[in-house]
Each structure stands twice: as structure tokens, then as C-alpha cells.
Amino acid sequence: MSFAAPWFLLGLLAVPVLVWAYWAREGRRAAAGAAFVTAPLRPSVVRWKPGWRRHLPVALAAAALVVLLVGMARPQRTVAVPAEQARIILATDTSGSMQATDVDPNRLKAVQKAGNEFLDQVPRKVRVGAVVFDHRTQLAQTPTLDRGLVREVIDNIEPHGGTATGNALETALNALKGRPNERRPPGAIVLLSDGKSTSGRDPVRVAQEARELKIPIYTVALGTPEGEIQVKQRDGTTRTEQVPPDVETMQRVAQLSGGRSYAIDDASELSRVYKQLGSQVALKDEKREITAWLAGAALALLVAASIPQLRWFARPV
């Protein structure tokens, strides 16, 4: 919780002083009463003692003052609200390593299924675009409200080539940051890759640029350390090549940019993560004042403070 006008909280320092003044006055009244009436006559003069109830209205009034002062400081709480103008870029690795079968039925099919489920989770008013990359990078779809266009990109990706993760992130950033001096709506990148970057820019350096632009990158490292593919050589023979995910770099990219990182080695887990991401990246933090609630609470306490006065201490005229 934060306060828009915190200097009003200085008024709380007066509350202990007022409480002390009240107890001092009550002590003087009690001493004066004891001096006026002798002990043997006191039971016949004072037949009813209110006890603690005499202090209840003052305690409620003091509580109302505290709540009112806090309310005047304009407290704010941070809530997550849908960012209806948000834009999201799905950056999907289509390198040859996506043919690995360590994720059932293979990494590519798992990505396609999870990507479509991700689109189901993102609010309809959020624009989604797509970047596909191997050793080359392509902005296959600019951010749009038409989910069908993005699904078409996802369903038609084919694995081949190397991996240029940094270039893919740069392309996604360029699609989100817009024109100079133009108000930029909230944006985020969801990066799914299963291998180490083999060409192009350093993805960590691009993540630092994303942080400056306040565009978080959510990374998903797909596959297991045992993942492997068959690579055809020039002489017609094939060789087995290990294609483990680069989890460390993906974590670094997410951390630097302000996003989150996931390491996935199971297709069902990938779908769950994409569903979770769909509800995360389309939200933004917004501060909302709760002054009205505190003002209402202060009024209720003042009303409560008046009730004992009317019921217990009112005298018939």
C-alpha cells in the first residue's frame, strides 16, 4: 500500500496526546469527586457506575479520527487489471532442433498445440502478433485482434536451420515499441526456444534493451538435456546431434527484462504454462485509492460513538 498525500499521517502523532489529555482529565474528575463526597456517603450518592462504558464513546471517536487521517493521506492499493490495449508477440523457435522427440510427439507439435491454447486464454481485446525464427527472423504477423491469422502462422511453421534468438527478440521489440514520441501501449514478448542461439545478436543484450523499454520477456525453454535429432550430412549419411535447451540463457533473458522463465520438458506442462501466461501478460498493475472506504468507516465509528451516549448516559428532561 502507498499514499498519495502521506503528510496527513503526521496528524496521527496528535492522537496519543489527545488520549493522554483525556486520561489526565478523567483522573482530575475522579479526584475532585472523591474530595467532594465522603466515603460513607458515596454509595448513596453514586448508585450506578458506568465503568468501561464511559470510555467507549471516546475510544470510538479516537478510532474514527485515526481512520479519517489515514483516509486523508489517500491510501492506494495496487491491483492487476486487464490491459485492453496491450500487445503480445509470440516468438517461436522453428530451428531444426524442434524435430526432437523428447517431448511427445515432438517439440514442434507440442509448441503448436500450446500456442493455440495460449491464444484461447488471452483476453479478446489484447492484440497478438507472431515472430518465427531459425537462423533467419520473420515478423509473420503484426499484433492483431484476429486470432485466426496468428493460428495460421503457428499451424504452418516448419523446423529447419539454426537459431537466432537475439535477432528474433529484436524483431519483436521493434514491433512493440512503435514510432518515436508515440504513446506506447503495454507490451510483452513470449519467447519459446529449445536450443542455444547460434547466430545473430546476443539475446542477453537485447533483454537489457527490453528492460529499458519496460517490455518484459517471458521465456519457455522446451526440451530435455537428452534431446537429439538426426542430421543429414553431405555424403548422404546421418549423424546424431544433441540439442539440449539453453535454460541458463533463457532465465537470464527473463530476469533482465522483468519477465519470468519456465523450463519445460513435458507437452502437458507446456500447455499449462501457456495457459498461465495467457492470464499474466495481459494484465497491468494499477493503483486505486481506497479513501472512500476509509471515510465510510470513520463515519460508521462516529455513529457508533454516539449510540452509547444516547442509550446509557441520556437524562430525561
Query: Which of 94, 133, 92, 96 shows the shortest CA–CA distance to 229?
Result: 96
In whole angstroms, how far apart are CA 72 and each of 75, 177, 287? 8, 39, 16
CA 48 to chain centre: 58
Q: Nine-digit cell at 228?
A: 537429439
What's the CA gap between 193 and 163, in Å, rounded? 9
Q: Specify the pLDDT at position 296.
A: 78
Q: Of 91-100, 237-246, 269-278, 288-297, where does mean pLDDT reach its minimum?
A: 269-278
Mode of pairing for the β-strands spanning 127-133 and 228-232? unpaired
What's the CA gap between 211 and 173, in Å, rounded? 11
What's the CA gap between 282 and 218, in Å, rounded? 12
Q: Nine-digit cell at 4?
A: 498519495
pTM: 0.63
The answer to whether residue 261 scores a pLDDT higher than 80 is yes
* Confidence grade of residue 93 (pLDDT, cut at 50, 70, 90): very high
Query: Which of 261, 199, 194 shows the shortest CA–CA distance to 228?
Result: 194
The answer to whether residue 65 scores a pLDDT higher than 90 is no
Contacts of residue 286, Cβ cutoff 8 Å, sequence gap at least 6: 78, 79, 80, 81
Summary mean pLDDT of the chain: 79
Q: State mean pLDDT over 1-25.
A: 75
Q: Specify the pLDDT at position 203.
A: 94
For the chain, the three-class secondary structure string (H helix, E strand, C coil) is CEECCHHHHHHHHHHHHHHHHHHHHHHHHHHHHHHHCCHHHHHHHCCCCCHHHHCHHHHHHHHHHHHHHHHHCCEEEEEEEECCCCEEEEEEECCHHHHCCCCCCCHHHHHHHHHHHHHHHCCCCCEEEEEEECCCEEEEEEEECCHHHHHHHHHCCCCCCCCCHHHHHHHHHHHHHCCCCCCCCCEEEEEEECCCCCCCCCHHHHHHHHHHCCCCEEEEEECCCCCEEEEECCCCCEEEEECCCCHHHHHHHHHHHCCCEEEECCHHHHHHHHHHHHHHCCEEEEEEECHHHHHHHHHHHHHHHHHHHHHHCCCCC
Grid cell 529449445 in the structure block, residue: 194
Q: Nine-digit cell at 51?
A: 465503568
In whole angstroms, how far apart are CA 283 and each of 87, 121, 124, 190? 11, 12, 13, 14
Q: Specify the pLDDT at position 211.
A: 93
* Confidence grade of residue 48 (pLDDT, cut at 50, 70, 90): very low
CATH code of the domain made up of 84-281: 3.40.50.410
pLDDT in tens, 104-119: 888 888 888 888 888 8
Return residue ranges of the chain for CATH 3.40.50.410. Answer: 84-281
Alpha-carbon radius of gyration of the chain: 33
Amino acid identity, position 260: R
If one compares 237 and 36, the residue with the highest pLDDT of the two is: 237
Exposed e or buried b per residue across 210-220, where buried means at least 16 C-beta atoms within 10 angstroms of its C-beta = beeeebbbbbb
Q: State mean pLDDT over 124-152.
A: 92
What's the CA gap between 113 and 106, in Å, rounded? 11
